[in-house]
Structure formats: C-alpha cells, structure tokens
Structure 1
Amino acid sequence: MKVADTHDEVLKVTDGSARRPVLVVDSVVVGEDPAQQGLEAACCSAVQKAIHFAFPKVRDPMTILWDLLTSSSPSDFLLRLPQGAYTVARTCREGRSVVSLAFHECRLLQTLNVLGNNSFENSFSESSAQFVSGRGKRYTFLRERIRASLKAALNARLLHHSLYYGNHANSGEALLLIYIPSVEANDDKLPITRVCTDGSIPPKYLPVFVRCSELRPPSIEHGLAAPGPVDIEFHLGRPRSKAYVKYSSWVWERESFECRKERPQSAELVIVSNENDELVILEGLTSNIFFFYTEGFLATASKDILCGHMRELVLKASVAHGIPVRLDHPPCIAEYKSWSEVFLVSATRLLSPVRSIWVGRSLGKAQELWKSANPPSLFADRLRAWTIEQMHLAAESVLD
C-alpha cells in the first residue's frame, strides 16, 4: 500500500488527471501503488487500521483501497462501503473553504447516534444553530478528526492542480464526501456507535474517510457555468426511514425507487406521499425541491425529509431578501396550477430550475403535469445569486 507524501506521489494518486478523486483515510492521502518505496510505517499502519475497522474480516486492505480509489461516483463509493454515517459538502473560494462545515460535522455525529439506537441531547431541526447547540467532547473530537482529513484532501487536490496547471490557475470547486463507518460489536473492538454515544471520547482508531473530487460545473458561483433547466418525475413512495439523518445504506434503499424512472431525460425522481388522500411532495432522491407560487411565496416540505445544508441556505437567502416562505403546509400536487417556478437544490446542483414535471404511473397518471412557462427561470436565477452570498457567509476555511 502506498501513502502519498510527496509531490510526485500526489500526481500518481490522481493518475495524471485533474478529474481523478483524491482519497484520504484518517488524514493520510492514499494512492494505488503498493510497491512505492520510502513509506512512513506510521502512515501505513493508520490506513490499515482504518480499513480493518471498517472491514473487520478483510485480508487485503489494498483491494479495498483500490475499489474506493476507482469508484466512478459518490454513490459508487458508498456502495463499496459498509453501513455508516456520511455527508456531502462543497467548497467555495477556489477549493479552500467548506460550506456549512459545522452543519456537516454535527450531522455525522447525529447519524452515528441514530445508528447506535440512542436517545439524543438535541433532535434534528431545520436550523443548524439549534442542531449544533449540544456541543461537547464527542462533537469536539469528531470535528478535529474530520477537519484534519479535509485539510489533507484539499491540500492534495490544490497541490496536484498547481503542479499541472500552474499556481495561478483557478482550481475550481470540490465535492467532498465524508464517511465514518458504523461497525457492529465484536470481541476485540469497541463499536463506533457505542463510543460515540455513551459520553466517552472515541478511540484514536476511529476512521474518517474523505473522497475529494472535482465539482461540475466548476465555477457556478462565478456565473461561468450556470446549470440549465432539468426534467423531473413524481412517483408515489414512502418517506425514507430515519429521514432526518444521512446513512450510507440509503444508497441501496433508493434503488427500488430509481427503477421507476419513465423518461430517459429525467434528472431526478421526487418522492410523493399519500397523506390523508392528499398527494404531498417530499423530496428528490438526491435533492430538496422548492416551489415558487404565483401568489409570491416560496414553499418546500419540512417534515419526513432530509433537510440539506443547501436547503437551509436557500431559506436564509429568501428571508434575507424579503421572500415569504411557507413551511407549515407542504406543497401538494393539487396545487400545480399555482406554481410559477420549481427548482432543485443540493450540494452538487446548488440550484437548478425545473423545466417540466412528469407524473408517473404509480400516481395513476403517466403524463406531463407541469411545464415552465418562463424559461430561463428569472426568480431562480436571482435566488441562486442570493444563495451564493449565503454560501460564502457560511463557509469555513480548513487550510492554513
């Protein structure tokens, strides 16, 4: 197993391509050349220990690392890992700061608590201020481990970019997938779920995995590559289990829903729940969904969904600019004639206007329900700019 500690090794990690993701395990940048010389034994030991913690029965850590390094997407990466807590963040300021970092750190801790079947000091809420109010030893320890791994990942990425394109080239932004495994109890290890919830400080071998990849479009906040409108589909479904936390097995769970896709051009599938004979619109499989009504207010679901950090920033931007927001009543299909604009938000999309909505057979329709009457989306364009302002306000540097 190779650990990248020099400029040349970092280049090998990315295989000569700026698009190759960087993998960091417990603050160590991992590469794919097991024959590389000059390794520091401590680094190798840390990575091996982390792999054995996540995969107690594995005999060849390098096989696991190779699979993770060559994963084609964040979903593919998670499918190769056991059950655990994860979150997806994005950078700003040319890959040097992480948006809503405290939100992501606390979400990981909350998810580990849920996976451990423990009660919480603080329940999840829409406000990150409330979400992080219960900081203590557990939060502090987790934060330090995560930030060390993020720093290693972003430094490796920036170093690689500068060596290939020069120090003055714009490196664009990065997508960060942070994952912490939840391992069942066995004879020789204290399970991560227990040590993170019984009030004690977790052991030093608590592993943190970070996958750092290029974010496309690379410069959305500079207006160079704003996303075009997308087509989406509505399908009947149940809210995800433990919707308020983010655990990796959701990637497996959503596969049964993804197979319902009826149009090849659809970029997202949205879950619609039947609640007392009312078809309530919840969320996309990888995004939150917003509706701007002809009456001049913004609405989105607030229960039975994963409240993403970009959703929170959109809400803050709306309030800051005097846009009325309705959260007491979720959007319903019956209101479709009142929708002026619809858009998706997520770490990868940021904010993407919706061009058309298809209602699937599971809802008894199999037809187009709604189509935007005013492309390009004028309100969504303004709200995107306001949300970018909030992103920079919420960004936190992890580099010196």
Structure 2
Amino acid sequence: MQRYLWTIVAVLAAAAIALLVVEVVHRVIRRLGRRSLLMTELTQHAHRSFQVAATVLAVQFAVRFSTGYAVGTEWRQVLLHILVLTVIATAAWLVAALLVVAEDTALARFRVDVPDNRHARRVRTQVVMLRRLTIAVIVVLTVGVMLMTFPAVRGIGAGVLTSAGVVGVVAALAAQSLLGNVFAGLQLAFSDAVRLDDVVVVEGEWGRIEELTLSYVVVQIWDDRRLILPTSYFTSTPFQNWTRTEAAVLGTAEFDVDWSVPVQAMREELRRLVESSELWDGRVCVLQVTDATGGTIKVRALVSAANAGSLWDLRCLVREHLVAWVRDHRPTAMPRMRAEVGDAGSDLAWQWVQPRRPVRRLGDGDVPDDARIFGGSDDGDARSEAFVGPDEPVEARR
C-alpha cells in the first residue's frame, strides 16, 4: 500500500509540475509574441495539445520510475502500455496543431478581401488541401504506430507484408473511385484550374466555389442552393471558370427590334446608362447589330463589370432600361409583323415617325468606340490581338 501511495503522489506531482511548466511557457510566449503572428497562433491553437501531451508524458515517467521493475509487474505493464498509447495520440495531436499553426501563419500573408485576390485564393486552396491531406496522413500513421505497440500485431506483421502486393491491388480496385477523387482534388489544388471563391458555370448552374476537399467540391449557386460534385468532375468534364485569370468579366444583353431602330441613338443611350451606374467598371461598353433576319434585327449590348455579381445586375439593368427606352422613345422600333399597303414614299404617318430629338451624325469613316468589340480602343485592340482566328467571333451566350 505504501508503494501504491508513493506512485499516486509521484503521478500527481509530475502532472502538477508539467502543468506549471506549460503554463509558464504559455505566458512567456504570449508576452513576448504580442506583435508576432506566429507566437499568437501558437498560444491560441497549440496550447491545449501541448498541455495534454506534456502532462501525459510526465505521468508516464512518474509511473515508470516510481513503481520499479519487480513490483506489480502485470498491472504496471498494462498501465504503461495505456500511457504509451496516450502519449502517441497526444503527440500526434500536437504535431497536427503545429502544422495548422504554420499553415494559418502562411495564409495570413495572403489577403482574399482585396479586388485582385487571384494569387491569394490559389495559395489558400493549396494550403487547405495540404492541411486535409497532412491531417489524414497523421491520423493513419498514429493508428499504425499504436497498433505496432501490441506484440500480437508485430507478430503478424511479417505475414501481412508478404501479402501486401495482393492486398494493395485488391484495395486499389475496391477504392478506385475514392482514390480517383483524391488525386483529382490534388490536381485541382496544384494545377490552378479552380480555386476557392472562383465563379464557375457547371451543369447549367452559375455559382461560386465554396468548399474544395479531396473527394468533393461544393458550389454555392447564386440562389443559395448548394451543388455538390465529386472532384473528378472538374478534371473530366468541361466547365466555365469566369475568374480564372481575373474577376472582371464581360456580359451581353440582346434585343430583337425592328429595322427602323436608330442604332446610333440606342448606342448613345447605352453609354449614358452605364456611365451613370456604379456597376460598370469603365472597360467595355459596345452596342452592335449582330444579325438581321426574319424581319427584325438583333442588337447586342456588351458591357463589363468588376465581378460576376455586378455583371448580372448590370445586364439586367441594361435590359430593363433599353426595353423602356425603345417602348417610350422609339415605339416604331418595337418588333412586329406587318404587311405594307400604301405608297412607296413612306409618307403615311404609321410608316414613319420622326425622332423627337436629332441624332448626332458621324463623319465619313468615323466609327464610334461603342460599335466595336475588337478595336476602336486600347482594350479592344488588346482583345483583337488575343482573339486571332475566324473573321466573325463565335457568339457567346453568357
């Protein structure tokens, strides 16, 4: 009984000393690291794991040196084995906490709340994927080391290793889909094909990459729905990434109007509208006639915005305003099917309505910037150099 009491006292003393030392170290690091992000992260995220690991290790040493080797052999071995398993688990917890601290410190250098955050989102995606992978590896290694402390497991280890090739093949075939998603997740993280907060169009849905894991990707749809896809989808299926190089994007609004529409007046109205809106980023404002068949012409307004959300609102604003403008100021330009009966001079009132205000006429060879996509401005010239190919660009639906 005296030896048991001595063991209990030794364990309590060791635990108290360990807790005291950890607390002193914690306070010193917190005081010295007030201006250091790394020290602050250590005190916040690694304190608890360090405290538990140090306490368990101190208790193990107290039990080992206070019980001796000849007294109470059976219960001593069981207790020490349990303490060894606990030390392994707490050490893995501490290592994982230190890795998380290092990753959080690295992420703090890259801000995502700035307009040009493409590089920061790329680094954040890679770090998050590495964090998930490293934690999974730590858990697997910890379980393996804990199992190897059992003599029975060590005894069958040789037999397991001899059949490792067959087992590996069977496991690879059984987990083919899972492993494919894991490798696809790593490929996405380091190929820069898609990043967190990227705006994408998948399965006909427009949304934002909300979460990217080793096995699946969560896309937040614009109406707050969540589309969950396996990571292998993004490596095997074409998809649209609107923010692959930058957040600024272009969008269109198309109108079917009558041949009598004054295109230049409509172009000037579009320019006036976007210049008065905070949604426009000042890059592109173009209005062109892209088709003229079936008794109507198709007028397309191309505008730009700083991000996909602003572009959506801007496109809706352009549609609403120009529809109202055609209805109120150019009613004869509204699309209609008609059969003409009258003189060819178009002198009848229903055949022609004079515009309410004069339209500015352009000189010979004078083409306004708002009538060109691939030219007429610095941005248009750069786009013309980038898109060298067919004489007529492919129509974009978005």
Task: State TM-score, norm by structure 1.
Answer: 0.24
More strand by proportion, 1 or 2? 1
Task: State TM-score, norm by structure 2.
Answer: 0.24
Larger relative contact order (CA 8 Å, sep ≥ 6): 1
Instruction: Tell me which structure has the larger Cα radius of gyration.
Output: 2
